[in-house]
Structure formats: structure tokens, C-alpha cells
Structure 1
Amino acid sequence: MRVLITGVVQPFSPSTRCSRMHVVQLAELAAVLTHHGPAILYRHAAVPPEAINGYWTASRLRIDLWNQSLARFTRAKASGNHYRMRCWWQDHTGVLEEVLASEVLTRVVAALADGIDRAGNRDEFSPIAQAIHLSHLEVRNRVQEAILDRRGCAVQDAVRLNKLRVVVERWIDALIGHLSGADPSLVRYGIDSSRTRAHAEEAGTMSTAPGRETIAWLTQASMTDGLRRIIAKTPSLPHANREVANSAMMILRPDLFDSVGVLKSLWVHRIQNDSDRTDQMIQDYLRPDVDDSATVSAFDAIHASALAQWFRY
């Protein structure tokens, strides 16, 4: 499967990148979903049940693995053995990095699920995504407590993890702000509401700019480069990351792609929607019995109610 990521075709296949899924690639996927988020929200189509089930299963499995790692730290602290705590930090620092960095995708998926369900007057995906979001926040809080505790943690590791937290929070606000440009109510999924609103206003002004694709590509490249400079090169939970990525990819329904496997832009969806409406009106007016036309019937109903309102006075 190929996905157009802001102008660059990136391969996603189990035999290549996904076999060793790094958490930075989850952030890249979050950028893809964010860039095409307005088109996803515009379609108002439901997310497939298998995508919802897959996202719940994969995310819960990864959260359980995180909790198991943090439980080992709790036991190490209870033992009072400094060497044991130091060994835990050496073995699990990568897991803590993934907890912090993968929050980007978790918040983006939760925001999209909220927007999709609200636009379609449904309550299908958002409860699942919100539950995963809250569980992720609980684990993140435990990670922050471990960083503040610092028993067994080297100073440079604590500083690096805190720097990663700050960087991730800023990129969360940038991506959620982009989604909020299409749906202002999604601002609440950001970290800093004022910063998220500022990004939303900027996204609104750039929605029709000729260089929108270039700006999105540069944003993603900057985020990826910034995260790679901080996070370890070797993934700690590559299989769990891959399963989460596969389930999140299923949010991108087949109707969002064109005939060559490239994600359609929001303007293409709007043009197609207007074309479908025009074709429907033409078909209605070409029917032998015009009274059977759905379009004409709707017009007559509105016209009749307007006349009744007029002559009532």
C-alpha cells in the first residue's frame, strides 16, 4: 500500500518499514492523518468496525506492556536497591521515550474520532479512542513521576526525557491546531489551548494557499528530524508499534484514495461531492415523471412551507 505524505509517496509494507516500526514513524503517521484530517472529517463517513476493534486491541496491548515495565520500576523502588533501579533505567529508557512520543498519534486519532462521530451524529469510534487517550495519559503521568523521582536515573537521561516531553507537546499543539482549523471544537485535544488556537488560525489562513502541500511536508520533516535527534535509534516495542500503526491506517478508508493509491485532497472531495449533487439533479429532471424526483419533491416541500408562512400573514 502506498500513501501520499504531503507530496512524497512513502511505502508502508510489513516486509520493510513496518517490520521494525519505530515510534518516530507513528509521529509521521499522525502527520499524515492530520494533513488529510479535513478531508476525513468532510466525508462524514463511519470508520469501519474492524478498524475500531483493531485500534482498541493494539492500543490496549501496548498500554499493558507499558504498565508492566513501570510495575518493574515500582518493585525496584520498593526493594531499595540502587543498582536494581539503575539497571531498570538502562533497560527501559526506550520504553519511556515511546510513551512520550507516541502521544502525538493517540491525540490525533482521538480528535479525528471525536470529529467523525460528531459530524455523523454517531457514537461509535470516539468512546474507544477517548478511552485509549485517557489510558495513555495515565501512563504518561506515571512516566513523568518516574522522571521526577530520578532514583537510579542519570541526569542526562532525565534532561533528555524532559526535552522530549516539551518537543512532543509542541508538535501535538501544532497538529491538533491544524485539525482545529476544520473543526474548532477539537482544540481541547491540544496541550496548550492558546498555542493550539494560534496554530488553528494559521491553518485556516493557509487552507487555500498554493504552498500548502510544501508547508505540510516541511512541517513533517522538521518534526521527524527533531524527534530522531532525541529518541534512541532502536525501537523498544516495534511489534506493538506496528500493530497500532496498522490499525490507525485503517481509518483511511478506500474512498479517500484515488485510482493510483494517492490520498485525495479536500478540494477533490468537494468537487466530487458537488459533481454527485449535480448528477443527481440532472437525473431527477430527466425522469419521465418529474413528481417522482427526490430533488423536485424537496424543492416543492420547501416552496410550499414558504408559501404557507407568507400567506399566514
Structure 2
Amino acid sequence: MHALDLVDLANTFSRLAATQLSLGSPASRLAAQDYWLLSRYRHENWMEHLARHRDAIDRVGTSFRRQRWHAVLPVLQEILLSEVLTRIVAYYAGVLELRRIDVEFASLARSTLVAHIEARNRCLHLIVFGPGLPVEHAVQLNRLRRCMEQVTDRTLAVMPPLENSSEFCFEPQAVARSQQQFASVGWSTTWITLHLLALTESYWKSTQSMVDWRVANARLNYRLSQTVLRFLSAEAFDSLGVPYSARMGRLAAESS
């Protein structure tokens, strides 16, 4: 699974989060532990690749450096792309913690986010200071970074407000303003859906010209996606598998 698919998953997860929160259900303990463990495996793979790359570009000549940068490009992109989902899940876990629904999950999700930010910082340090990075790669990676930062904040805009949102987003004030706009229309499911659909269309168009379609950790990305879906309880869906709205989710929870 390509990391861009994880951006799509973050979009879908944020849309369904309101219904899940209305049910007041904690995250599956096993799913939370699997999420942390799989994220840790992927993080270790990233750090190993980045360390080997750093050593290689310090030793080799200019022509071979270009080849090394081409080889590590999928890893750098995966770190930047998959950060969106990591931040969305951590934010969701923070809301569960705030509402005293689930504290343990928040701790695991925050730990995962801290590790991902470490990988991001290592990635950005290499982009800025690593010798031999082709200009076209530097431009693409910088554009991708900015794009994913915007996608993260625009996705978090549909989530319930958190006081410590700066932990999870890049422009807390902009996110807070967007959340106020959604609150002013009663967190309308229609508004949220249209917002996220427009966001999906926007980032897919933006990333087509800058994404390398090679995959660094296809299997781990897939397993992580399946684990994230396990955070959504069966009660959030009707008998046909269609997700309830937040209002219907509350009614279902009250009647059960």
C-alpha cells in the first residue's frame, strides 16, 4: 500500500470520527497495541534507511550520490505522506482522553506521533543538509511537505476542538477558526463530507506530479491501515455497512 492511500484513510477516518465519538466507545485495546507496534516497526525501518543513506552520501562521489538519493526518495516521501494519518489518529485519541473515554490509547498514539515527528525531523535535516540532493527532488519534497501540512490542518478542522491542538496541527489558530465555522452550522454532516471530498480532490491533483509511486513499506502500511479501521466499532455502521451520521450514532447508543 502506498502512503498516499493512508492520506485517503485519514480523510475517511476523520469523517467517521464524529459518529464513533458519539457512541462513547474506547478504542480496541488490541488494535491500539497493534497500531503502536506496527508503527514502531515502520519507524525502525525508516531510521535504518536514513542512517544508511546518510553514511553513503558522506562517502561516495557526486554521480553515485544522485543514485543514492533516488533510492531513498520513497522513504522520504512515505514519512511525509503518512504523517497525516499519524496526526489524525493521535488527535482522535486526544479527544477520547479529554472525554475520559480512553486514556491508554492516547498515550500510545502520542508516543507514535513523537516517533513520527523524530523521523520527519531527520528527513527534513537530510533534505536541507545532505550533500548531493538533486534540485528537482528538493523542490518536490518541499512542495510535498507543505501540501501535507495543509492537508493535515484541513482534515483536523472537522474534528472536535482540543485546547492543546498545537501538538497535532501546524497552524492551530487556522484550525480553530475552521472548527468554529463547522460548529456554527452544528457540525453538519453534509458540510463535513463536502469539505473532505473537496480536500481529497485537491491533494490528489496536487500530488500527481510530485509523488514517486515506489513504496518503501507496502506491507506495514497495509497492516497499519487495517489496524486503524479496527478503531471504528461495528456500532458505527448499520446492517448494510453504511456508517451512521453522528446524530444517528447518538440515537443508536441511547437505544442500546
With normalisation by structure 1, the TM-score equals 0.76
Give the superposition deviation at 1:210.
4.7
**Structure 1 residues 55-74: aligned runs within 5 Å:** 55-74=35-54
Identity of aligned residues (%): 24
Residue identity matched to 1:108: I
Give the superposition deviation at 1:44.
2.0
Residue identity matched to 1:199: S
Following TM superposition, the consecutive aligned residue runs of length 4 or more in structure 1 with deviations greater than 6 angstroms are none
Give the superposition deviation at 1:94.
1.3
Which secondary structure does the structure 2 equivalent of 1:264 belong to? Answer: coil
Contact kept, 8 Å, 1:177 with 1:196, in 2: the verdict is yes
Flag structure 1 segments of 5+ consecutive residues without an equivalent: 1-20, 277-313
The structure-2 alpha-carbon separation of the partners of 1:53 and 1:275, relative to structure 1 and needing over 3 Å to count, comes to closer
Flag structure 2 segments of 5+ consecutive residues without an equivalent: none
Give the superposition deviation at 1:88.
1.5
**CA distance in structure 2 between the partners assigned to 1:226 and 1:78 by the alignment:** 33
Question: Are positions 1:205 and 2:167 aligned together?
Answer: no
**CA distance in structure 2 between the partners assigned to 1:209 and 1:135 by the alignment:** 33
The structure-2 alpha-carbon separation of the partners of 1:243 and 1:237, relative to structure 1 and needing over 3 Å to count, comes to same
Question: Are positions 1:126 and 2:106 aligned together?
Answer: yes
**CA distance in structure 2 between the partners assigned to 1:219 and 1:87 by the alignment:** 34
Q: Which residue in the other structure is 2:118 paired with?
A: 138
The structure-2 alpha-carbon separation of the partners of 1:110 and 1:84, relative to structure 1 and needing over 3 Å to count, comes to same
**CA distance in structure 1 between the partners assigned to 2:139 and 2:80 by the alignment:** 14
Question: Are positions 1:193 and 2:172 aligned together?
Answer: yes
Larger Rg, first or second structure (1 or 2) = 1
Residue identity matched to 1:148: V
Q: How many residues are treated as equivalent by the alignment? A: 254
Contact kept, 8 Å, 1:46 with 1:120, in 2: the verdict is no
Which structure has more RCO (C-alpha within 8 Å, separation ≥ 6)?
2
Residue identity matched to 1:224: W
Residue identity matched to 2:22: Y
Question: Are positions 1:102 and 2:91 aligned together?
Answer: no
Pick from 198, 202, 206 the counterpart of residue 218 of structure 1: 198
Q: Which residue in the other structure is 2:59 paired with?
A: 79
Give the superposition deviation at 1:24.
1.0
The structure-2 alpha-carbon separation of the partners of 1:57 and 1:221, relative to structure 1 and needing over 3 Å to count, comes to same
The structure-2 alpha-carbon separation of the partners of 1:231 and 1:129, relative to structure 1 and needing over 3 Å to count, comes to same
1:34-81 Cα distance to aligned partner (Å, 9 max, x none): 112222222221111121121012111111110011011221144253
Question: Are positions 1:251 and 2:231 aligned together?
Answer: yes
Give the superposition deviation at 1:178.
1.6
Residue identity matched to 2:244: K
**CA distance in structure 2 between the partners assigned to 1:177 and 1:258 by the alignment:** 26
Contact kept, 8 Å, 2:89 with 2:109, in 1: the verdict is yes
Give the superposition deviation at 1:211.
4.7
Q: Which residue in the other structure is 1:27 paired with?
A: 7
Q: Which residue in the other structure is 2:247 paired with?
A: 267
